[in-house]
Structure 1
Amino acid sequence: MEKIYVLDTNVLLHDPLAIFAFGEHKVVIPMTVLEELDVIKDRRDKDVSREARVAINTIDRIVGHAAPKELLEGVPINTHPNTTNATNTTLQSLGNLAIYPDQQIAKIDNVPFLNSNHDHANDNRIINVALSLQATQPRDNVCLVTKDINMRIKAKGSGLERVEDYRKDKVLDDVDLLSKGYTHFSGSFWDSIEKVKTEQHGRHTIHLIPKYAIDPFYPNMFIIDDMDFVGFICNIDDKHIYLLDINKQSLMHQSFWGIHPRNLEQAMAFYLLRHENSDLMIMTGPAGSGKTLLALAYALQVTMEEKRFNKIIVARSTPPMAEDIGFLPGTEEEKMAPWLAAFDDNLEILHGADEHSFSSIDYVKQKANIQFKSLNFMRGRSFNNALIIIDEAQGLTQFQLKSIVTRVGTNSRIIVLGNLAQIDNKYINPLTSGLTYLVEKCKVFNYASVMHVNGIERSRLAEFAEENL
């Protein structure tokens, strides 16, 4: 039995290299998908149009100079050149790629083809391709792959046996498994430890614990328990986890720009922000947990007081930004102002009690050299001696976040903030978000840190709304 995967347009826009993700099986691209990609490649939305062009170029490299008959039957797919070992110039053959001329689908008895009405013509044609293959090749396993939930429901309702979401980009099976930056032990942590060696390094106490005693574990992670023990994984070798013993009271008395932590999660976030050996800090958590305020207070502290950075770069994800930013008057910073009002709100919290608060806020913006940037214009740039804050990162794709992180230059640091419960990109969910991808891929990096700030500190109404509405 051969497996045949019919790809929807949104799959190729989500992952332009999705064709390589189906192993030795057959991939079918309906003609309607090529027509949609042709329209999308010229859109003003730079990210979407780029994905369309990459997908088209990928298909072109595979089909090459194949004859029309070969396109219908399937052209061998080879591994992407970037994945080929430098010492092995022979490309490994995978499955086949076929182009299906869906405009030539003939009426078949007992096959419930969908009508090509004006509103849903393209979706219906793509579904009809899968229905046609299922009817004409009954011994094969035909599957429609689409990220459109409603299209999956329509396809199943039309009699298609297999319909799936594109799952290759899912780094977790359940969002509850996402790393939080700490592990909580009920009762006393030491009750579960059979063997420990303790060393004193100046005023620091280090516990050497066998690696099997904690699971999971990764660098820059906290260990906490109900007895107020707080440990920080500062090193890992072949046999041991090096756990720095941290006094909880000293954690709670940290301060940035006049701001003190209100709960233990915020206190651990303060510690990670202060951690000198960290180039990337990721903070997740619900609305009102203080992520933006903590990041901004730290940024002002290290930029204005400690002079560690020359500027603060602030950017955030706004789904309709590519279209809407052009309609707003002014410079790039002035156009971004409505999207980044949250930072002005937090500056008011930090300086609202000043005698001349508006003058203080303007002074801080100029003195700290705070620059508001559009994510669309960050590609290709390099930020040196800068602290970069990316807010609302949950709506970014894996590729977008990668392109942003790779902008970080020498003597720079990046802080990524996001709330996976507030994703407004219709093609992204908590399991496929770039923020989830970044957390899971970077948690094992010695120079990165993660913290899930859980408490709602904005107001008692915000806490009630987050938990009950």
Structure 2
Amino acid sequence: MEKVYVLDTNVLLHDPMAINAFHEHRVVIPMTVLEELDHIKDRRDKDVSREARIAINAIDKILFNASPKAIQEGVPIPSALGGEETGSLAIFPDQLINHDVPAPYLDGSQHQANDNRIINVALNLQVKNPNAYVCLVTKDINMRLKAKGSGLENVEDYRKDRVLEDIQYMAKGYEHLPGSFWSQVDKVDTLRDGGQTLHVLNREVLPKVHINEFLYDDSGFVSMVRSLDEEKLELLDLSRDQLMNQRMWGLSPRNFEQAMAFFLISRPHIDMTVLTGPAGSGKTLIALAYGLHAILEEKRFDKMIVARSTPPMAEDIGFLPGTEEEKMAPWLAAFEDNLEVLHGTDESPYSSIEYVKDKANIQFKSLNFMRGRSFNNAYIVIDEAQGLTQFQLKSIITRVGVNSKIVVLGNLAQIDNQYISPLTSGLTYLVEKSKNFEHAGVMHVNGIERSRLAAFAEENL
């Protein structure tokens, strides 16, 4: 059966390269979508306008040599790998739709014009192609409801960025093994590597674990997966007491998940650490404490770059006075709060904080100005990453230069982007795609360490 996918504007803003995601099928872009992209490309919101321009360029790259008739009928989409052609891309002139076609027709009033015109394209194609699977793809829930209510048989969310079917299966960075782990193991080779103890097992014992994942059982055994292949699994033996007694910049873990996060973030071979968890679990404090320790004590990095995802930022930042760092201050107050926690017991906390900010060369940056730059010898912290798309996170992580480390923080319960859910968040995508990379680590820090009121609110409100 021929499949025809009609794309809404928000799909192309969410993933500007979405036209390549439908394999051998036909992709139709209504003229109204091109008009909306044209308006959006000049917006003050740099993130959205940039993605609109990328989407326009991707469409133009396919259609620039085609005739008007070919564009309306469909132009082959080249394979992303440079091989054979895949599906086709067509522009539908929806301004020509009228009541002459025996299809449901939504009102084209100015208030609802754009959404209705896009739905009308799918309805029109459904009538003209009765033997085809015609589907509207949109991230707008209400638009999906309107389309179904108007008689459109097939309506879907954009799913290419969905790496999980259920968020509960997202990698946490650790696995609890009930009972005694060693009672389930028949054969093991134990080695010494310097001061470390390593256990080499058959992969069949733990077939689903990933690199840099922590394992612990009920009898006190704790380890981290140091390496693995199709046949063997190498575990680094750890001590629960040693993990709990770690200290970084005067900070000690207050629960076992924080202790594992301490150990993971301090590994020199790990270039990217992703810390997820609820508000108050200590993600930001751990990231900041290790950054100060690595820069001022270990001399590993020259500076700390702190950036945060803030949807209103792109519109409001220009109206605030001062430098980029001063403009970012209202959104990065959480880092100031955590610096106060680390230095609150000093004789002169304010002077200590200012000294540390200057000595560690802490720079507050807007994500809008990180693209196009490369950060070498830097410790980079991206906070509130749950509201970023996979495309946005990729464009940020590709900025990480030589001898740099990036820490990505996020809480999937606090997504404020209307088109992003926990399943489609760039943070979820990053966790699942990087969990098998030997130079990346993932940790879900679940214990809430703010107050009993904060714990109650997180669980019950």
User: Which band: TM-score by shorter chain?
Assistant: over 0.9
> How far apart, in 2, do the equivalents of 1:109 and 1:29 lie?
19
Gap runs ≥5 in structure 1:
85-90
Assess, with a 3 A threshold, how the Cα gap between structure 1 residues 351 and 113 changes in structure 2: closer, same or farther. same
The letter of the residue matching 1:399 is F
Please give the residue correspondences for 1:45-84 in structure 2 after superposition, counting only pairs within 5 Å: 45-80=45-80, 83-84=81-82
CA distance in 1, matches of 2:230, 2:163: 26
Aligned positions of 1:89-108 closer than 5 A: 91-108=83-100
- Aligned equivalents of 2:252, 2:378: Cα separation in 1: 24
Secondary structure of residue in 1 paired with 2:87: strand
Aligned equivalent of 2:320, options 328, 332, 338: 328
Distance 1:51 1:318 in 2: 17
Query: Which of 167, 171, 176 matches 1:184?
Result: 176
User: Quick check: 370-379 or 226-235, which moved more?
Assistant: 226-235
Deviations 1:407-445 (A, max 9, x none): 222222111111111111112211221111211121111
Distance 1:17 1:367 in 2: 42
Task: Give TM-score scaled by structure 1 length.
Answer: 0.95
Matched-pair contact (CA < 8 Å) for 2:101–2:124: no
The number of equivalent residue pairs is 461
Helix, strand or coil at the partner of 1:198: strand
In structure 1, what is the Cα distance between the partners aligned to 2:101 and 2:41? 37
Deviations 1:232-254 (A, max 9, x none): 11122452111111111111000
Select the residue among 214, 226, 229 that pairs with 1:222. 214
Task: After TM superposition, list the pairs within 5 Å mapping 1:393-412 onto structure 2.
Answer: 393-412=385-404
- Helix, strand or coil at the partner of 2:287: helix
How far, CA to CA, are the matches of 2:442 and 2:432 in structure 1? 9
Which moves more between the two structures, 248-257 or 300-309? Answer: 300-309
Deviates more, 1:248-257 or 1:166-175: 166-175
Read off the aligned partner of 1:72 and give its amino acid letter: Q
TM-score by length of 2: 0.97
Residue in structure 2 matching 1:168, options 160, 163, 169: 160
Aligned residue in 2 for 1:88:
none
Whole-Å separation in 1 of the counterparts to 2:237 and 2:66 = 65
Task: Give the 3-state SS of the residue equivalent to 1:301 in structure 2.
Answer: helix
Task: Specify which of 132, 144, 165 is matched with residue 152 of structure 1.
Answer: 144
SS at match of 1:445: coil
Task: State the Cα deviation string for residues 148-173 of structure 1 (Å, max 9, x = none).
Answer: 11100110111111000010111222
Q: How does 1:443-454 map to 2 (within 5 A)?
A: 443-454=435-446
Contact 2:415–2:422 under 8 Å retained in 1: yes
The partner residue of 1:337 within 323, 329, 340 is 329
What is the letter of the counterpart of residue 75 of structure 2? Answer: V
Structure 1 residue 271: deviation in Å? 0.6
Q: How many Å apart are 1:110 and its aligned residue? A: 6.1
2: CA distance, partners of 1:369 / 1:66:
53
Pick from 278, 281, 294: which aligns with 2:273? 281
User: What SS is found at the alignment partner of 2:371?
Assistant: coil
State the AA in 2 paired with 1:385.
N
CA distance in 2, matches of 1:440, 1:2: 32
- Separation in structure 1 between the aligned mates of residue 79 and residue 440 of structure 2, nearest angstrom: 31
Aligned to 1:258: 250
- Name which of 110, 124, 136 aligns with 1:132: 124
Supply the AA of the counterpart residue of 2:260: M
* 2:432 corresponds to which of 434, 440, 449: 440
Q: Please report how far the alpha carbon of residue 202 of structure 1 lies from its aligned counterpart in structure 2 after TM superposition.
A: 4.2
* SS at 2:443 equivalent: strand
User: What is the rounded CA distance, in whole Å, between the counterparts of 1:273 and 1:71 in structure 2?
Assistant: 51
**Please, what is the CA RMSD of the aligned residues?**
1.5
* Whole-Å separation in 1 of the counterparts to 2:26 and 2:323: 49
Residue 457 in structure 1 maps to residue 449 in structure 2: yes
Q: Percent identity?
A: 67
Q: Which residue number in structure 2 is paired with residue 299 of structure 1?
A: 291
Amino acid at match of 1:4: V
Moved more, 45-54 or 340-349: 45-54
Aligned mates of 1:55, 1:365 — CA distance in 2? 40
Distance 1:417 1:201, change over 3 A: same
Distance change (3 Å), C-alpha of 1:66 and 1:308: closer
User: Secondary structure of the equivalent of 2:172?
Assistant: coil
SS at match of 2:432: helix
**Deviation per residue, 1:36-88 (Å, 9 max, x gap):** 111111222222122212222222222233333222222222223xx22xxxx
| 1:271 matched to 2:269 | no
In structure 2, the partner of 1:420 is 412
2:352 paired with 1:360: yes
Query: What SS class does the counterpart of residue 175 from structure 2 fall into?
Result: strand
> Partners of 1:132 and 1:142 in 2: how far apart?
10
CA distance in 2, matches of 1:360, 1:61: 54
CA distance in 2, matches of 1:11, 1:167: 10
| Unaligned 5+ runs, structure 2 | none
Measured after TM superposition, the shift of residue 286 of structure 1 is 0.7
* 1:187 aligned counterpart, secondary structure: coil
Tell me, in whole angstroms, the C-alpha distance in 1 between the residues paired with 2:301 and 2:88.
Answer: 52
SS at 1:208 equivalent? strand
